[in-house]
Amino acid sequence: MEPMIRSAPPESVSGLTPPPATRPLAVQHTLHHAISCVGTGLHTGACITLTLQPAPAGHGIVFKRSDLNAALLPARFDYVVDTRLSTVLGDVNNPTNRIATVEHLMAALNGCGIDNVLVLVNGPEIPVFDGSAADFVFLMDCAGRVAQDAVRHRIDVLRTVRVEQNGAFVELSPAPVQNLHLALSIDFPAEAIGKQTFSTELTPATFRSELARNRTFTLRHEIEALHKAGLARGGSLDNAIVVDGDQILNPSGLRCPDEFIRHKVMDAVGDLYLAGAPLRARFTGHRSGHCLNNKVLRALFADPSAWRYVPAHASFSRVAA
């Protein structure tokens, strides 16, 4: 099944967006000051301290285990070492040096337009908080966002790249808009989820209003299997939606009727920021997840004719914050 795509109005007829050549260049951003928090790791159940530190222009998003004397882990697709339960960054030469569940923090960094941050974490995973990106957005709002004296770059997708696996697919193709346009669909046997589609253009405003608050979800029988395997020790109804057939087990229910597919789109916003810069592309997918999100980036960068690295222009989209 192809996902439904809600088309955006062409910018040339919107009357609100000057042609790219006349727009000023966008600049890079970091945080105004460092900020720390403590939360539970979904899989270890451990109490983990996360610190976001400002970083100079050109630094990028870089992770570091503060409890190890180990190499830095740049937030890049080629540092992803596992995608089975979450997106995991790691050092192939040092199996201890790994950080799991980076995707919701990466989504918030992408959605908030933060280019340069050093992420310190004193354990093997990023705290899960409520299973959404809302707390990461709150942290960045508390730290403040500051412009830097350097031009922001983006990656334009020039040719369609597609990866498939067991009836699922994702595809990156040239964008009809200035930013990242996402259109995903899911189809779960569990009646409480079923078939859902969602599409949006990523801007700071749409990230906050449409994506950031949607929580991760799991099926009850999967949780029981994870617990038997010693995983998801920190998992609870406070940090995930749990589905059993047509039932939502969380007493407070869903935050919106299509919270499941909105969370999958939010995951993709995080996984795709592992390109190393914001993408100008159309991203479509069906029944996709962290594995295909990483594979499509590897396929994109394996073909030098499929992309280009260009200065980004300031966004004048009607929905930009």
CA distances from 126 to 105, 263, 297 (A): 8, 17, 22
Backbone angles phi, psi at 247, to 5 degrees: -105, 140
Q: Residue 101 CB, nearest distance to Zn ion (Å)?
A: 8
**Applying CB under 5 A, which part among 73-81, 106-114, 207-215, 216-224 lies near Zn ion?**
216-224
For residues 290-299, b (16+ Cβ closer than 10 Å) or e, as one string?
Answer: bbbbbbbbeb
The DSSP code for 59 is -
Report the catalytic residues. 290
CB 144 within 8 A of CB 32: yes
* Count of CB atoms situated within 10 Å of the CB of 69: 6
- How many residues of this chain interact with Zn ion, rule: CB under 5 A? 2
- Least distance between Zn ion and beta carbon 92 (Å): 24
Which range, of 45-53, 110-118, 165-173, 265-273, touches Zn ion by CB under 5 A?
265-273
Q: Rounded to whole angstroms, how far apart are CA atoms 19 and 14?
A: 11
Minimum CB separation of residue 55 from Zn ion in Å reads: 25
In the bound state with Zn ion, the residue whose beta carbon lies nearer, of 115 and 271, is: 271
Question: Shortest distance, CB of residue 195 to Zn ion, whole angstroms?
Answer: 19
Shortest gap between Cβ of 234 and Zn ion (angstroms)? Answer: 15
Residue 267 interacts with Zn ion (CB under 5 A)?
yes
Nearest residue (CB) to Zn ion, 122 versus 218: 218
Q: Does 259 bind Zn ion (CB under 5 A)?
A: no
> What is each CA distance from 163 to 84, 166, 172, in whole angstroms?
17, 11, 9
Number of helical (H) and strand (E) elements in the chain, helices listed first: 7, 20
Contact between 216 and Zn ion (CB under 5 A)? yes
- DSSP code, position 318: T
Binding segment for Zn ion (CB under 5 A), chosen from 122-130, 242-250, 264-272, 281-289, is 264-272
Which range, of 7-15, 48-56, 89-97, 208-216, touches Zn ion by CB under 5 A?
A: 208-216
Helix (H, G, I), strand (E, B) or coil at 260: helix
> Binders of Zn ion among 177-196, rule CB under 5 A?
none
Give the footprint of Zn ion on this chain (CB under 5 A).
216, 267
